[in-house]
Amino acid sequence: MKPLSDVALSVLDLSPIPSGADARTALRGSVELARHAERLGYRRFWVAEHHNMPGVASSATTVLMSHVAAATETIRVGSGGIMLPNHAPLVVAEQFGMLEAFHPGRIDLGIGRAPGTDQRTALALRRSPQALGADDFPQQLTELMGYFDGEGAVRAVPRYKPPVWLLGSSGFSARLAGSLGLPFAFAHHFSARNTIPAVELYRESFQPSEALSEPYVMLGAAVICADTDEQARWLAGPSGLQFLQLRRGNPIPLPSPEEAAEYPYSDIDRHFVDERLGTTIHGSPSTVRKGLETLVADTGADEIMITTMVHGEADRLRSYELVAGLARD
């Protein structure tokens, strides 16, 4: 079994907006978390693309990336990811070429095909009902790569190509990433049941490429680490309630632990939240170590990208600090 010390650790940040705070607070927290992660030795700091969510401030992904990259020195900064159907491929190529120009060797372009939002907001982003499907994603990806590679009459300027990753939560992106010989990032944190089949499909489909000679798997995992199991479970309550409300079509800022504890859950609500938190690795350092080691043993992951959704900024920084300590032990 691969020891945890041999697995790279990275950070996925959604720039969560806590109840009682605002987006400015969340964005400042993202920059501070990136600095903290760099000091702790995390490999990457990726930011997600979401829209029309009052609890998530990372809507303009490349803008946030530029601030994070400027505020750090060594950690890789990337998108987890850019939802390509929301954007013109040429614009993505130009933006990431410019980021790579400013921060050479430190930028990652993670690409997904989901909208990162509801259908109404996706329509506002894409401007056409015909563009709402994801069936033409491979064609959009080919177009994007062509701008980077300088093929055709239209080229991205500046034309600097960062490493490209494919993101996914199903077999579609796993197979595509494998066939193109690209590194694959799987969203285990919200599609845990599909993790092992998708990882196996990626490895079976893998064809060596100029980018990669052998498969490389990174798993996104929701992790909350605290001094005790009880404290971690208390801190995890808000993410469960936030996800419950999202599934109801009522997205909210990230509640406090007290708000989560006082919410009048029905039995069905409780079951949903417990099931959701069952896919989160939360607990004391020893409990989190076991959870991460099991995930690595089951999947053979090369890298774990940790997302920690807790209400208090100090608790979030502490969680990442404790997890980084596990990799050094």
Q: Do residues 173 and 166 touch, judged by C-beta distance below 8 A?
A: yes
Q: Residue 165: what are its φ and ψ, rounded to 5°? A: -115, 150
> Which residues form the domain of 34?
4-327
Average pLDDT, stretch 247-257?
A: 94
Whole-number Å distance between alpha carbons of 327 and 308:
17
Of the pLDDT bands very low, low, confident and very high (cuts 50, 70, 90), residue 133 is low
Q: At what angle do helices 61-71 and 23-40 cross, to 10 degrees?
A: 50
Of the pLDDT bands very low, low, confident and very high (cuts 50, 70, 90), residue 304 is very high
Indicate which CATH number applies to the domain containing 283.
3.20.20.30
Would the pLDDT of 1 be above 90? no
Whole-number Å distance between alpha carbons of 8 and 296:
11
Q: Do residues 37 and 44 touch, judged by C-beta distance below 8 A?
A: no
Burial (CB < 10 A; 0-12, 13-18, 19+), residue 85, is: buried
Closest to 322 (Cα-Cα) out of 229, 217, 241: 229
**Domain count along the chain:** 1
- Locate 82 and state its tokens: 């850019």
pLDDT tens string 104-131: 999 999 999 877 667 777 777 776 665 5
Pairing relationship of beta strands 107-112 and 303-307 according to DSSP bridges = unpaired
Whole-number Å distance between alpha carbons of 299 and 67:
34
Looking at residue 244, its pLDDT comes to 95
Of the pLDDT bands very low, low, confident and very high (cuts 50, 70, 90), residue 69 is very high
pLDDT tens string 145-168: 999 988 778 889 998 999 999 999
pLDDT tens string 52-62: 889 999 999 99
Q: Do residues 201 and 178 touch, judged by C-beta distance below 8 A?
A: yes
- Locate 20 and state its tokens: 């009682």
Closest to 212 (Cα-Cα) out of 147, 134, 302: 302
Whole-number Å distance between alpha carbons of 191 and 186:
8
Cis peptide before 158 (omega within 30 of 0): yes
Q: Do residues 291 and 235 touch, judged by C-beta distance below 8 A?
A: no
